[in-house]
């Protein structure tokens, strides 16, 4: 099972990807998490990406496809995977199709999650993250630890630099101008579904689960 979770920043792709991963035993591949890890580790890619991400702009297609190729070639992806936050442009979608052909892997099913823009902004401006391991915390879903320490590694829970309102609005603008076109790419290939993400997390997951069960 090869899935793409598609939608604007803040619609809940990461939350739903984790639930799918846990139930079906396939890895969640988040390009955002991969990039933020590179930034934290101060790799060469991380240094290049940090300024771009802070502005809410997109990393180049070449860099993203190289990251994806390396990741999906690993053994844990043998039975399927979930792409969270990729592809974001038509060239990335075309590159991903070529990559799947090159690796003799089946085509992706794309599931879109939708939510109103103001709801997305409200969600993202309260989202927090661990400064050490990158785990996301959202007080709208679950209360934050009282000591503001990560429950995984003990790092400090802080606001993400790219989750201020101006940057979020720019990210949504970039999404509408560049990423939303990817929807048409997958609709044309008959592998596209859409669910309403402006509901309680488990309700959204039930809709996604129904789609997966009927694939």
Please list the active-site residues. Answer: 13, 88, 127, 160, 171
DSSP string, 117-173: HHHHHHHHHH-EEETTT--EE-TTTSPPPTT-B-TTT-PBEEE-TT-SHHHHHHHHH
CA dist 20 and 14 (Å) reads: 10
> Is residue 204 a contact partner of residue 197, using CB atoms and an 8 Å limit?
yes
* Stretch (H or E) spanning 2: strand 2-6
Report the candidate in 55, 46, 51, 110 with the shortest Cα–Cα distance to residue 84: 110
CA dist 166 and 83 (Å) reads: 27
């Amino acid at each position: 099972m090869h899935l793409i979770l598609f939608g604007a920043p803040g619609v809940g792709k990461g939350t739903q990807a984790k639930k799918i991963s846990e139930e079906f035993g396939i890895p969640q591949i988040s390009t955002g998490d991969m990039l933020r890890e590179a930034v934290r580790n101060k790799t060469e890619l991380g240094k290049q990406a940090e300024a771009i991400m802070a502005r809410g702009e997109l990393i180049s297609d070449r860099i993203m496809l190289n990251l994806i190729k390396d990741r999906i070639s690993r053994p844990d992806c043998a039975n399927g995977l979930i792409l969270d936050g990729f592809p974001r442009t038509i060239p990335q979608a075309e590159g991903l199709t070529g990559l799947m052909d090159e690796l003799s892997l089946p085509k992706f099913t794309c599931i879109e999650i939708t939510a109103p823009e103001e709801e997305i902004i409200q969600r993202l401006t309260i989202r927090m993250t661990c400064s050490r391991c990158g785990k996301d915390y959202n007080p709208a879903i679950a209360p934050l630890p009282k000591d503001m320490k990560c429950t995984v590694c003990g790092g400090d829970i802080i606001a993400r630099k790219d989750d201020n309102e101006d940057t979020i609005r720019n990210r949504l603008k970039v999404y509408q101008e560049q990423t939303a076109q990817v929807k048409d790419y997958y609709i044309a290939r008959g592998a596209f579904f859409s669910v309403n993400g402006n509901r309680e997390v488990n309700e959204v997951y039930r809709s996604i689960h129904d789609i997966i069960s009927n694939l």
